[in-house]
Structure 1
Amino acid sequence: MAKFYTELTEPLQKFIAEQQMFFTASAPIHGRVNLSPKGIDTFRCLDSHTVAYLDLTGSGNETSAHLIENGRMTIMFCSFTQQPLILRLYGQGTVIRPRDAEWGRLDRWFLPTPGARQIIKLRIESAQTSCGHGVPLYEYQGERETMIRWAEKKGEDGLKQYWQEKNQVSIDGLPTYLLSETEVNHP
């Protein structure tokens, strides 16, 4: 049975800390819905109303473009172990890049990770749990090293070139302002 929360309780924060992956969902006002799996120790609960994750370089930059346009975001955690549970976090997201004033305050929450391009922060409006009884059991075997090795091989200049070519606009043509000094970010 679904239960709603106005903040992340200690048991919910503990549940989050135990998960090896999470999913992000965002959408533009007009265009495609984006749903992305995330892993690698990149997620943090900052307080009972705020979470953030270190966003690593990927083939696209949909979440950033959507958050700049409208801020709407959902993050989902799903237990694949014996104790089933699904947790959804609903709220308004913000994109923080290394050039932004807030970067220094948030970056310290994360381990240095090759390929880090921005931090996504979510101000939680509500959280919802549901049973997860239909989710299959899976055994965690470890992190894939592919993305980290790829970013290390690219190096700082190679990553910036990749961002220029692949991460400046969403698949629906919305700007991400990843490399631009001029942007209007959603509060």
Structure 2
Amino acid sequence: MDNGFYYLYAGIWRILARWSAIATGGSANEQVTFRKLLDKAQPTGVSLTLQPKIITFSSMGKFHDSIKPAHKDFIEKQHIFFVSSAPLSASGRVNLSPKGLDAFRVLSESKVGYMDLISSGNETSAHTLENGRITFMFCSFDETPLILRLYGKGCAVLPNSDEWEQYAPHFRTYSSTRQLIVADIDLVQTSCGFGVPLYDYAGERDIHFRWAEKKGKQGLSDYIDENNLISLDGLPTDLGLNRQPVK
């Protein structure tokens, strides 16, 4: 095979891989194996940049108006996700939090939520109460790179509310669960994730649950009163506006 034909052949494979990724509606990544092509067709003395021999193609910056089945499958395989929100004030602090513990659920093609444990801040509740804006991000840490973002409007759902009875059965909740965060998603974005490093999942931490057990019911309530009723910028949270005494 002469050099010109080889490059044409390799170019066709690239085009097919690209269209394959597009045809699947951005369903994660399409892997194209060049091993046979390179082994059988590479001309002697020609230096190529098609390394490694197994090349991963990903749709870059694809947008969707709903969560597709492939997006849901990818989300359910991830052990960590990130949630971001911000106040309307130009001087307000943007919040970004990592979450784990199998807390996230895709409730429909346009609705998601996660179970939220008592922690040292409650920024997401304050921000969504003020303006609703919320962004979730998932990224692959294995050999197939991908970043997936969900954009929408969210709100906190508190225990003993009517919405709690609707959404809580979808989640595993604990004595230290303070609320659910539920969001309507109007935009889904996938991108390459080529710059995300490889990591191995080692397991979930149990530190929070040991801490919560040691605190006890009253201790957790006191902790909420001290830390979860307003944001860093002084905005009220849902818990702050609907605080009820411990029974």
| TM score, norm. by length of structure 2 | 0.72
Match of 2:235 among 145, 167, 174: 174
The count of corresponding residues between Structure 1 and Structure 2 is 182
Q: How does 1:38-117 map to 2 (within 5 A)?
A: 38-117=99-178
Deviation at 1:25, TM superposition (A): 0.4
Distance in 1 (CA, whole Å) between partners of 2:104 and 2:123 is 18
Q: Cα deviations across residues 36-72 of structure 1 (Å, max 9, x unaligned)?
A: 0001111000011000000111110000000000000
Structure 2: runs of 5+ lacking an equivalent: 1-59
Instruction: Give the CA RMSD over aligned residues.
Output: 1.1
Question: Matched residue of 1:129: which SS?
Answer: strand
Q: How many angstroms apart in 2 are the aligned matches of 1:158 and 1:113? A: 15
Distance 1:152 1:7 in 2: 39
Q: Which residue of 1 aligns with 2:208?
A: 147
Q: CA deviation at 1:110?
A: 1.1
2:102 counterpart SS class:
coil
1:185 paired residue number? none
Deviation at 1:179, TM superposition (A): 4.9
CA shift digits 1:125-181 (9 cap, x unpaired):
100000000000000000011112111221221111100011010000000131543
Runs of 4 or more above 4 Å deviation:
none
Q: TM-score, normalization: structure 1?
A: 0.94
3-state secondary structure, aligned to 2:224: helix
Partners of 1:180 and 1:2 in 2: how far apart?
A: 39
Match of 2:63 in 1: 4
Q: Which residue is equivalent to 1:15?
A: 74
Is the deviation greater in 146-155 or in 66-75? 146-155
Provide structure 1 residue ranges, at least 5 long, that are not aligned to the other structure. 183-187
* 1: CA distance, partners of 2:137 / 2:173: 24
The whole-number CA distance in structure 1 between the counterparts of 2:129 and 2:181 is 11
Distance 1:50 1:14 in 2: 15
Q: Using the alignment, how far apart are the partners of 2:102 and 2:145 within structure 1?
A: 21
Q: Whose helix proportion is higher, 1 or 2? A: 2
SS of structure 2 residue aligned to 1:20: coil
Q: Larger RCO: Structure 1 or Structure 2 (Cα < 8 Å, ≥ 6 residues apart)?
A: 1
Taking the aligned partners of 1:180 and 1:72, their CA distance within structure 2 comes to 19
What is aligned with 1:118? 179
Name the CA distance, whole Å, in 2 between partners of 1:177 and 1:35.
19
